[in-house]
Structure 1
Amino acid sequence: MTEISGMVATDNGFVVVNDSADEEPRRRIFFLDAECRVVRTVRYPSRPRDTEDLAVDADGTLWVADIGDNDRARQTVALWKLAPGGGRPVLHRMAYPDGPHDAEALLVAGDGRPVIVTKQGGAAGLYAPTRDLKPGATVPLERVGQVSLPRTTTSNPFSFLGRAVVTGAASAPDGRRVVLRTYADAFEFDVVGGDVITALTRGRPRIVPLPDEPQGESITYSRDGRFLLTVSETADQPPGTEPTVLRYPVSSVAPASARAATPARTATPAPTATPTAAAGGEPSDDRERRSLVGVVGVVGLGLLLAGLIGLVRSRRSGQR
């Protein structure tokens, strides 16, 4: 499991999914014990496209977010829903109202409504179904808001782009907090009355730096809510590198308004467990570079315009 893209913590360990595994044996929902040994797997009844995140709601139902779309070409995205103790996930299809989006983050609101957070530069879009999901039907999504994350300077393999895109999300066990992560940082929002959308669109997050994780995509809360747990994809790391669960405390983090520009590294990661690594699938760095194309387009256009303006001003100054 070198491409873990989604993770949730359980009372006995973890549940994880791989990022668009090309080999059939890797297309599973994997249940792990506290030492990250596989103790159970659940197959999908049909082939998933690009599983990117996991969420669990109040009654223990597991949601698998099949929402990745690096090429922005999918007509529909999907959620797989697995009842507690169930052995067969149920597929629910959805369609964006404004064209395809790449996304890697899923949250479930207090009322059980799933919320997709897109992966794009600038403000990330928030999308939710317009009605109850129904197997065999495609339910329209609606844009319910957007979230703009504070800027940071946290070191990561993708530089400023890695600080700009959302790669995972999670809800605290008591539902009073949610967290979004980038390749560089975690942003924790307070939730009132289960209203996740208001929390993300109007709240001021606390920032937990996640410095220099190889390719950080997964995040979850510990079962007691005191820690954030993360794991990176490791498919393109040096031989022998295994995906490792890292733990960051969240009990004494300063508000974002005091830390957005230069976050202190108060959350130094400490390894807690090491799942078994296994190779396979398309190199994840290639996929991530493709998934960042949209971000490069937005940010690059701004840089290009700024450069052109500077060039014009320089030439005008020289002609005077």
Structure 2
Amino acid sequence: PRCAAPVRIGALPQGDIDECSGVVASGVHPDALYVHNDRGDEPRFFAIGLGGALQSEVDVAGAAAIDWEDIARGPCRTGGGSCLYLADIGDNDGDRGSYVIYGVREPDALGGARGATAEVFVFSYPDGNHDAETLLIHPVTGAITIVTKVNKNRSRIFELLALPAPGEAATLVAAGSIEPPSGSERITSGDVHPDGTGVLLRTSTRVFYYPMAADQTVAQALADAPCALPSPDEEQAEAITWLPGGWDYVTIGEGEQAPIHRVSCEAP
């Protein structure tokens, strides 16, 4: 897609969102974003407006928060509708052994303090421990893709084509590797376009777009060459999401009152 330069549209609210690690646009509430903190916080996420105004704090029952690193939106495992998936996949010390994705239904309404009950999906990798910050969910199939974070060389790609029953342990399947063509090698976030035709990956310094055909998995799309898109200069670049209804995307960094940037793009 052809994109304009990033524009600052707001900032995170002062207070509890001080280490934003993931963002995803709502599929139910116009102009709402869901964000969450990095490790050390409670099991909760927040709804904010595009400009950063706090709309809701949502406590997640049945969840723990070891190191939440990303949030994605996709189809619910059962019953239809839009669900949010919170990825407890950070492992800086490389000693966790197993990891968790928490699934919750999108809130029906926003405003004030709210609660959600999580479905718990436990998984491991086939070859040991990995640190990761990127959760990608196919908007049609619900297939899960995780991209690991490395300090140099190639990140690994792992897939799970269907969510297991809650509480049942699953083993991801290795599905290739990836190395950004320029800039930092540390992949910190990503998102699949709501219509399933492209994938964004964010690194510490760049944003890349990978086209995706209707018959491709996310991992197959990531095997092709990307194009670079505009990337705002943000301290500790951590989060990215497509906005519904077009090709614009939003980025957020980490820190107190971190700026929110929007990049406007034409359809490819």
Same fold at TM > 0.5: yes
For 1:308, the equivalent position in structure 2 comes to none
Structure 2 residue identity aligned to 1:118: T
Q: Residues of 2 paired with 1:88 and 1:80: CA distance?
A: 9
For 2:117, the equivalent position in structure 1 comes to 88
The answer to whether the aligner puts 1:184 opposite 2:205 as a matched pair is yes
TM-superposed CA distance for 1:123, in Å, is 1.6
The answer to whether the aligner puts 1:198 opposite 2:220 as a matched pair is yes
Determine if contact 2:190/2:240 at 8 Å carries over to the other structure: yes
Q: Residues of 2 paired with 1:213 and 1:35: CA distance?
A: 16
For 2:21, the equivalent position in structure 1 comes to 5
Determine if contact 2:47/2:57 at 8 Å carries over to the other structure: yes
Q: Residues of 2 paired with 1:173 and 1:206: CA distance?
A: 19
Q: Rg: which structure is higher?
A: 1
From the two aligned structures, give the one with the greater strand fraction: 2
Among 134, 149, 158, the residue aligned to 1:105: 134
Determine if contact 1:230/1:245 at 8 Å carries over to the other structure: yes
Identity of aligned residues (%): 30
Determine if contact 1:106/1:169 at 8 Å carries over to the other structure: yes
For 2:100, the equivalent position in structure 1 comes to 78
Q: Residues of 2 paired with 1:18 and 1:132: CA distance?
A: 24
What stretches of structure 2 of length at least 5 have no aligned partner?
Answer: 1-16, 76-80, 109-115
TM-superposed CA distance for 1:46, in Å, is 3.2
For 1:15, the equivalent position in structure 2 comes to 34
Structure-2-length-normalised TM-score: 0.81
Structure 1 residue identity aligned to 2:87: A
Q: Deviations over 1:162-200 (max 9, x none)?
A: x11100001112111111110101110111115211100
Among 218, 221, 243, the residue aligned to 2:258: 243
Q: Residues of 2 paired with 1:195 and 1:130: CA distance?
A: 9
Alignment of 1:248-263 (within 5 A): 248-251=263-266
For 2:149, the equivalent position in structure 1 comes to 119
The answer to whether the aligner puts 1:223 opposite 2:247 as a matched pair is no
What stretches of structure 1 of length at least 5 have no aligned partner?
Answer: 153-162, 235-240, 254-320
Q: Deviations over 1:45-81 (max 9, x none)?
A: 2322111011111542111111000111111011010
Alignment of 1:202-213 (within 5 A): 203-213=224-234
From the two aligned structures, give the one with the greater helix fraction: 1
Structure-1-length-normalised TM-score: 0.68
Determine if contact 2:144/2:161 at 8 Å carries over to the other structure: no
Considering Cα pairs closer than 8 Å and 6+ residues apart, tell me whether 1 or 2 has the greater RCO: 2
For 1:266, the equivalent position in structure 2 comes to none
TM-superposed CA distance for 1:42, in Å, is 2.2
Count of aligned residue pairs for this structure pair: 233
Structure 1 residue identity aligned to 2:212: V
In structure 1, the residue corresponding to 2:172 is in which secondary structure? strand
For 1:55, the equivalent position in structure 2 comes to 72
TM-superposed CA distance for 1:222, in Å, is 1.8
CA RMSD after TM alignment: 2.0
TM-superposed CA distance for 1:85, in Å, is 3.0
